[in-house]
Amino acid sequence: MALQAPDFGYDRRFRQTSLVTANLGELGWELEVFFSLERMIKIRGVIVDVTSEPRWGAVPLVWASATVNTQTSYSYDGDFYIHLPAGTYNVTITCPGYKDTWRIASTNDQASVGTISVVPSGAPFP
């Protein structure tokens, strides 16, 4: 089955919103199935620790995670990306040894929550 999505690119993802099945009784029949695709938005940001030594500036955190609803994106270089349907979302940022923080992302296109600075919690790093 071929899928043709005219507005598709590196930053675009789609999800199928309904289950589509086809039962072909005989081989050789040509069947065309139309189904709905929902365009996903990409929520992105950078998680940093700004309390480090001033000469280094903001340091990206590698153990941080961003969670929206049930989807979690783990940061290996400070960056995170989550693909969701258009809407308003509460993005929760967590990192061991740091206080949790959150941002709101609201859009019907690609959204950036920017650079998110987290503060050490004083608890020991596990």
Q: Which residue ranges form the domains of the chain, and what is each CATH number? A: 41-118 (2.60.40.1120)
Give the chain's length: 126
**108: DSSP letter:** S
Report residue 94 as tokens: 């967590």
For residues 86-91, average pLDDT:
89
pLDDT band at 2 (very low <50, low <70, confident <90, very high): very low
* Least confident span in 13-22, 38-47, 114-123: 13-22
User: What pTM, to 2 d.p., does this model score?
Assistant: 0.67
> Helix, strand, or coil here: 55?
helix
Average pLDDT, the chain: 76
